[in-house]
Amino acid sequence: MASGDTLLIFTPQHNEPTASNAATLDTRNQHLVLDFDDTTNEDGVFRAVMPQSYAGTTGVTVYLHYAMTSATSGDIDWDVAFERVSDSIQDIDSDGFAAVNSVDNTTVPATSGHVDVVSVAFTDGADMDSVTAGDGFRMKVTRDAASDTASGDAELWAVEIRET
Amino acid sequence: MALLTTEQRDALRSAWATEQKDPVAIDKAATSTAIGEIDAWIEAQVIDAFVSMSEPARSGLTNKQKSDLFARIVAKRWEVM
């Protein structure tokens, strides 16, 4: 697959809530969104199988589409991590997410309902927990609320994974 | 002087921010500062509200009951909560 091509798209209803500090479903003008708190670091977890079209050379870039519930100033920090759940690779009784990659200090849109898109790049290999074409995996998206400055919930609207 | 702890102010700020639907033009730090300032003002001034009540309310109500009335009046006046 060519660089920039879409591999996967997730929407809020794809979230598999974590046992604690899970982002929560909400609606905004009938748009289903995933709310991330501004004080506690909350997670959204999305499961998929990496498409066979993934070339496995340049890695992937994760695009987060979000809006702020009310904030029109301040910045926001996001973390993303991958967990490979392939053939006899991961005991699903426990979590095995690789280290997070981040996009930090993004100034939020000046209009709270506007959707902003930020991206987090992963190189192929350990950076994305060695997920290859055909591997099952989970991807965890976390708002680093302990570090960012924007007030109120962040509303995750969609997530796209592209070939880098 | 603010009496709420930093943790209490953070929790209050978070709960307030979660419920805001209209645009909020200040960030978390500025909101926390404002909460501390309001807390300090209440500590210094709320006694004036209590003594503004005539008898039998002045001595017939506990400070907690007076505070409850105060909060409800503020909420009603500004149509919040």
Question: Given the DSSP bridges, would you call strands A31-36 and A60-68 parallel, antiparallel or unpaired?
Answer: unpaired
Chain B residue with Cα closest to A154: B18
Residue A88 pLDDT: 87
Angle between helices B63-77 and B28-51 (to 10 degrees): 120
pLDDT tens over chain A, length 164 residues: 688 999 999 999 999 999 999 999 999 999 999 999 999 999 999 999 999 999 999 999 999 999 999 999 999 999 999 999 988 889 999 999 999 999 999 999 999 899 999 999 999 999 999 999 999 999 999 999 999 999 999 999 999 999 99
Contact indicator for A127, A59 with CB cutoff of 8 Å: yes
pLDDT digits 0-9 by tens, B9-66: 989 999 999 888 889 999 999 999 999 999 999 999 999 999 999 999 999 999 999 9
* CB atoms B24 and A38 under 8 Å: no
CA dist A82 and A122 (Å) reads 9
On chain B, the residues whose CB falls within 8 A of the CB of A39 are 10-11, 13-14
Residue A1 pLDDT: 63
Residue A125 pLDDT: 97
Chain B residue with Cα closest to A29: B21
To probe the interface with B, which of A26, A70, A155 has the most B CB atoms within 10 Å?
A: A70
Other C-beta atoms within 10 Å of B6: how many?
Answer: 10
Contact indicator for B28, A74 with CB cutoff of 8 Å: yes
Tokens standing for residue B11: 């929790």
B1-to-A119, B16, B63 alpha-carbon distances in Å: 43, 21, 19
Query: ∠ CA(A22), CA(A24), CA(A26), 5° rounding?
Result: 170
